[in-house]
Amino acid sequence: MNTTTTTKNAGPEHLVELTNLVKRYHGRAILDGISARFGRGQITAMIGPSGGGKSTLLRSINGLNTIDGGEVRVGEHRFRPGQATDREVLQAVRRTVGMVFQDFQLFPHLTALGNVMEAPQQVAGKSRTAAEAHARELLKRVGLGERCDHYPSQLSGGQKQRVAIARALAMEPQVLLCDEITSALDPELKHEVLDVLADLRDDGLTILMVTHEIGFARRAADRVVVLAEGKIVEEGPPEQVIDRPETERTQRFLKNVLG
Amino acid sequence: MTACRRTNKIFAKPRHCLTLTPRHGQASESLRDAPHCHIRNSGLLKSHSRSNRGLLSFAAILVATLACLFVSPSDAAADGPRNERLRQRLESGVLRWGGDAEGGAPFQFFDPGTQALIGFEVELVDGIIAELRRQLNLPELKAEYVQYKWVSLPQGLEKKDFDLIVSGLEITAENRAAMIFSRPYYIYSQQLTVRADETTIRSVEDCKDRPIATLSGSAANRFLTKMGATRISAFEGQIEPYQELALSRVDAVLLDLPIAVYNAGSDKRFKFVGDRVGSGFYGIGLRPDDGDLAAALDEALGEMMRSGRIREIYSKWQLWNVDQFELASADRPAEAAGLRNKTDEPQSGGAAVATQNWTFRAYAPLLLESAGVTVLLSCLSMAVAMAIGLIVAVCRLYGPAPVRLLALVYVEFFRGTPLLLLLTFLYFGWAHVPYIGVDLSAWEAAVIGFGLNYAAFEAEIYRSSIMAVPRGQWEAAQALGMTEVTAFRRVIFPQAFRTALGPMTNDFVAMFKDTSLVSVIAIVELTQRYQILARSSLKFVEIGALTAALYLAMSVPLGHLARYLEDRWSVGHK
């Protein structure tokens, strides 16, 4: 599957590549030499203990974090330490990479529709009509066709997160970064968001998700990466990493999570 | 009516002395005043004076004897208990007099060097106190000065913040409705002042449709209004009109002669033109129940006139002129009435008439018009403040270090300096600043002044509102590919503005009230209009209520609108 280039953007088989990535914070290495590649049309689930560097890794990919060493490549764009402020590269990367946050971060002064239309109009320069048609389609797709004119405060957590996904998709990204997007949701609402993700993967979107949903990771992810103390301690297909972990660190983590 | 009767009561005192005062006055004037001076100053007149001396002495003795015969018994009877009552009245040993030293030269002002209170009225009061000490046998009696805003002096008197008003207060029907007056101590008239190169203005009549400045609430102001002048700028201080004249913002200034002499008399930029007009009297104002004190003041002033002390004081301040010869007779109703008829005071504008005319319909349009000024001024100023405030806030938050520092200095400077100072500087001072000085109109100065000052406060509101927007909103916007500018414009600012709206509405309501400060630069807004109307009609309560209602009619809906918008917009929050 990884060898066929099915997307219109022909390029390297791995859309995102991290090489020896280092991020320090107050002298402590949050990311301690991470190298990883993420293939097209895959869901990669990143699991691991809190403070292990999962979110930092994700935010390094679209430049919300600067990096202190190594290199990030997204498509043909690369950036290294000190270049993170190169706005044009960052802008280009962010056009390729969408992101969904744990606490939604919808724009509270705009309706669901307005949230989804904003970036296509302001960043991609789409016309209002085109942006609105696309936004309605996306909201319908995440099951919120009837909620277009609701403000974020009038939506449930699960609905908010689905609007946030639609907002990210409106820029037609090739990669979607999901940072613990179900953590703030009630258990019975999590599935509506996870179902949307599974659906997107089927459309060929590359998804990198930081999650604590071991069950979902196992069911839907193509690959699982275990991050602890700033290092990748284990990676592989879910049935291997989750059911038959090889390293002691992974075993300990899973034991703690699954109880 | 009551006021009139009260007024008559004090004037009854001089009338009581009437039978003798004329002769007495004439005799003393010819004895002590005119000849005395001539003897001292003119050798030519010496012999002539000497030859008359015996005769005059005889006349003086005769008058004194007559005075004893006719006055002493009755006066002793009347003055005995009166003086007793006065001694009790002045038990504290302090007679407090109220006046306004702010721009009060030559009446009363603080010596720029020594900071001592000086002025012809200060010397006048000293003379009166000396007379009272002697008259009442109260050697300890002292005068105490109470600084008061000139326009509020009548209220201060009524509230017993002081006992006398000595502050160039004109004896007018309006003023008499609220207080009683001593006999006049100065006869003023209005002097027209123009720039030295002026050729087209020869009299006040030439100024009917020309910009002319004067003092708010003064006799000159009333004179101009009555004359139908169309372009009057009325200021709260007496120096400002001459500054206006120097800056060519007005073509002439009409003000009391003492003020004109002091401020423009020796200034080469100005010249006096035309006859003096609109003469009238300055008197000492007292509470209506202080008739005894008024009578004692009359005696003290009379004695100072007879002794030549008054002339001495006025000469020293260059205020003596031939008009003042009439002072001695100005306490006699017949002649006083004659003098008063000579004045151009608009007697019909007096309190009695105004009282009858008081109707909602008469005052509401004037107040409404001034409320319009308040609204327009506030809206323009707030727009300027919000625009500058946003720029300053953005500089403070996102600018490079020097710009941030500059913005901080801006906020600290304008937040820490009084608005009044800024307004006065912009209007009167800035035109004199070399190179960058600009001659601003009153409205420009007001809008810029309020705008700059309020911008400092709005900037802080913007800043805290912008900082209150969660960091995640920036990240969400940037993750979507927005530049910082787009993120700020489309995501951060709209949210911050909604948060800022509440506090800014508060500021806006405060500004409605703060705009009353512009009266210092002669813009008549609602509060100023209230003061003008209330002081001329004495309907403080009625017009005050109407004015308050207008302010409320402006600020209450504004508050509701803001709350409505906040509610509506907060649908988006949480």
Structural domains in chain A, sorted by start? 14-258 (3.40.50.300)
Nearest to A109 among B475, B486, B572 (CB): B572
Strand bridging mode B142-147 / B94-99? parallel
Nearest to A153 among B470, B486, B574 (CB): B574
Residue B73 confidence (pLDDT) above 50: no
Reference B170, options B278, B38, B53; nearest CA is B278
- Report the pLDDT value the prediction gives residue B278, as an integer from 0 to 100: 85
Ranges under pLDDT 70 in chain A: 1-12, 83-85
In the block, tokens 């008399």 appear at B265
- b/e map of B510-527 (b: 16 or more CB within 10 Å)? ebbebbbbbbbbbbbbbb
Q: What are phi and psi of B335, to 5 degrees?
A: -75, -35
Q: How far apart are CA B559 and CA B460, in angstroms?
A: 20
- Report the pLDDT value the prediction gives residue B522, as an integer from 0 to 100: 74
**Beta-carbon count within 10 A of B573 CB:** 14
CB contact under 8 A, A105 and B470: yes
Query: pLDDT tens-digit profile of B158-209?
Result: 888 899 999 989 888 878 888 999 999 998 889 999 999 999 999 999 999 9
CB contact under 8 A, B572 and A153: yes
The reply to whether B188-278 and B360-570 are identical in fold is: no
CATH of domain B188-278: 3.40.190.10
Fold (CATH) for B2-17+71-142+291-343: D-Maltodextrin-Binding Protein; domain 2 (3.40.190)
- By CA distance, what is A109's nearest residue in B? B572
A189 vs B492, which has greater pLDDT? B492
H or E element, residue B407: helix B401-416
- Report the pLDDT value the prediction gives residue B269, as an integer from 0 to 100: 92
- Are A226 and A253 in contact, with CB atoms under 8 Å apart? yes
Q: List the single best residue of A116, A123, A149 to mutate versus B (max B Cβ within 10 A).
A: A123
Whether the CA torsion B63, B66, B68, B70 is positive or negative: it is negative
Q: How far apart are CA B119 and CA B145, in angstroms?
A: 13
Q: What are the tokens at B168?
A: 């160039």
- By CA distance, what is A100's nearest residue in B? B476
Residue B112 confidence (pLDDT) above 80: no
Whether B498 and chain A come into contact, CB under 8 Å, resolves to yes
Nearest to A118 among B479, B490, B495 (CB): B490
Band of residue B50 on the pLDDT scale cut at 50, 70, 90: very low
CB contact under 8 A, A99 and B482: no
CATH of domain B360-570: 1.10.3720.10
> Shortest Cα distance from A17 to chain B (angstroms)?
19
Domain boundaries, chain B: 2-17+71-142+291-343, 188-278, 360-570
State how far the alpha carbon of B49 is from the alpha carbons of A66, A174, B63, B306, B501, in Å.
107, 120, 19, 18, 84
Query: pLDDT tens-digit profile of B518-545?
Result: 887 878 788 888 877 776 666 778 889 9
Q: How far apart are CA B225 and CA B211, in angstroms?
A: 13
Q: What is the DSSP string of B356-395?
A: HH--HHHHHHHHHHHHHHHHHHHHHHHHHHHHHHHHHHHH
CB contact under 8 A, A87 and B483: yes
Cα angle at B147 between B288 and B236, to 5 degrees?
Answer: 95
- By CA distance, what is A93's nearest residue in B? B481
Q: How far apart are CA B76 and CA B248, in angstroms?
A: 60
Nearest to A62 among B479, B572, B573 (CB): B479
- b/e map of B288-298 (b: 16 or more CB within 10 Å)? bebbbbbbbbb
Whether the CA torsion A94, A98, A103, A109 is positive or negative: it is positive
Whether B327 and chain A come into contact, CB under 8 Å, resolves to no
Residues of chain B contacting residue A118, judged by C-beta atoms under 8 Å apart: 480, 490-491
Residue B329 confidence (pLDDT) above 80: no
Residues of chain A contacting residue B473, judged by C-beta atoms under 8 Å apart: 105, 107
Q: A24 pairs with which residues across the strands?
A: A29
In the block, tokens 């219109």 appear at A8
Which residues are CB-neighbours of A37 under 8 A, at least 6 positions away?
A14, A16, A17, A18
B277 vs B567, which has greater pLDDT? B277
Residue B25 confidence (pLDDT) above 60: no
Q: List the single best residue of B466, B471, B475, B480 to mutate versus A (max A Cβ within 10 A).
A: B480
Average pLDDT over residues B91-105: 87
Residue A120: asked if its preceding bond is cis (omega within 30°), the reply is no
Average pLDDT over residues B212-223: 87
